[in-house]
């Protein structure tokens, strides 16, 4: 697990879990950073937690879930031989201060960087958290609200426009116009006049969304299930068109299932 996470000895502190003496379970304390800043909880959950889970370990903390604080009951720092150390709070804090920050060097693009790499064509919708339409509408109306949010905000809008069945070209044009009008000085790249960089990033984001949010995984949960919404009349209609052609009957029913949640749009992007 440490090799997969590229954690050096100086970047981690190994501690016993409450069940250490029974089953040998441990906790690892480390300080993940990105771009020389400590990760926010959202960035950690969206981009780093899938990597930790891929090693067979459980990452903490999780939003809205209780977890034990370090150095709580039956949690002790382990020496090189795996023996729990009896430390005072001051000694424990001293060891935490000595842990070097772990600089995450790979480029993080919200949840996009690791989806294909980790899950391929077996993406479990329950593992990935996407922005809601409410969040997208807030971002769309009010623009950037703090530093370091340009990329994630553009991704949120790209997901929303995909759900609205906009073409990729329209999404790119809209997001480029949006960032110019509503960056509010919170984008370092815009402030530097590097709009070419921002435009390229937007094009990459939209391209990724429209290429990957198809088939196995969609940003809105209703499309992540193959049951769809089909009436008996739909089945009869498909059977009447393709009598005895079971393959095309199934294709037609699947097409209904795809179109039904999008039927209130003037046209459907396929």
Q: Which residue has the higher pLDDT, 200 or 230?
A: 200
pLDDT score recorded for residue 86: 84
Q: Is the pLDDT of residue 239 over 80?
A: yes
Q: For 191-215, give one letter per residue: b (16+ CB within 10 A) or e.
A: eeeeeeebeebbeebbebbbebbee
pTM of the model: 0.39
Instruction: Taking residues 107-133, report their average pLDDT.
Output: 46
pLDDT digits 0-9 by tens, 208-222: 888 777 544 454 554
Task: Say yes or no to pLDDT of 32 above 90.
Answer: no
Parallel, antiparallel, or unpaired: how do β-strands 32-34 and 102-103 relate? parallel
- Asked if pLDDT for residue 176 goes beyond 90, the answer is yes
Q: Is the pLDDT of residue 114 over 50?
A: no
**pLDDT grade, residue 101 (50/70/90)?**
confident
pLDDT band at 182 (very low <50, low <70, confident <90, very high): very high
| DSSP structure string for 106-173 | SPP-TTHHHHHHHHTT---GGG-----HHHHHHHHHH---STT-HHHHHHHHHHHHHHTT--HHHHHH
Per-residue pLDDT for 91 more than 80?
Answer: yes
Asked if omega into 187 is within 30° of 0 (cis), the reply is no
List the Cα angle 37/196/35 in 5-degree steps: 10
Q: Are 80 and 34 in contact (CB under 8 A)?
A: no
pLDDT digits (tens, 9 = 90+) for 135-165: 888 999 999 988 888 998 999 999 888 877 7
Measured distance CA(32)–CA(103) in Å, rounded = 6
Determine the pLDDT at residue 110. 42
Question: Which pLDDT band, with edges at 50, 70 and 90, does 264 fall under?
Answer: low
Instruction: Please provide the DSSP assignment of 207-223 as one string.
Output: HHHHHHSSTT--SSGGG
Q: What is the pLDDT of residues 64-74, one digit of tens each?
A: 566 666 667 77
Joined together, the tokens standing for residue 19 give 């069940």
The domain spans of the chain are 2-103, 129-221, 226-262
Q: For 48-65, how does the pLDDT look when each residue is reduced to its tens digit (9 = 90+)?
A: 777 777 777 777 766 656
More reliable by pLDDT, 173 or 254:
173
Rounded CA separation 180/143 (Å)? 10
pLDDT for the residue 117 = 43
Give me the phi and psi of 140, to 5 degrees please: -60, -40
Q: In what order do the strands lie in the sheet with 32-34?
A: 37-38, 32-34, 102-103
Bridge-partner residues for 241, per DSSP?
none
């Amino acid at each position: 697990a440490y090799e997969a996470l590229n954690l050096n000895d100086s970047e981690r502190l190994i501690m016993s879990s409450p069940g250490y003496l029974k089953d040998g379970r441990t906790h690892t304390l480390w300080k993940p950073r990105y771009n020389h800043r400590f990760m926010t909880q959202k960035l950690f959950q969206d981009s780093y937690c899938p990597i930790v889970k891929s090693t067979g370990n459980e990452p903490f903390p999780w939003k809205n879930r209780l977890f034990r604080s370090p150095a709580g009951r039956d949690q002790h720092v382990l020496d090189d031989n795996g023996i729990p150390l009896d430390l005072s709070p001051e000694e424990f804090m001293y060891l935490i201060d000595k842990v070097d920050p772990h600089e995450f060097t790979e480029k993080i693009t919200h949840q996009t960087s690791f989806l294909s790499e980790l899950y391929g064509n077996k993406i479990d919708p329950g593992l990935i958290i996407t922005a809601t339409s409410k969040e997208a509408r807030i971002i769309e109306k009010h623009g950037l609200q703090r530093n370091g949010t340009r990329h994630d905000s553009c991704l949120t809008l790209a997901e929303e426009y995909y759900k609205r069945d906009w073409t990729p070209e329209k999404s790119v044009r809209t997001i480029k116009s949006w960032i110019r009008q509503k960056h509010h000085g919170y984008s370092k790249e815009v402030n530097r006049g590097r709009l070419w960089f921002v435009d390229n990033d937007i094009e990459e984001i939209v391209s990724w969304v429209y290429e990957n949010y198809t088939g196995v995984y969609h940003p809105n949960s209703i499309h992540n299930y193959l049951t769809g919404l089909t009436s008996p009349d739909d089945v009869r209609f498909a059977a009447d068109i393709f009598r005895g052609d079971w393959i095309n009957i199934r294709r037609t029913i699947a097409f209904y299932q795809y179109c039904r949640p999008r039927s209130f749009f003037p046209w459907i992007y396929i």
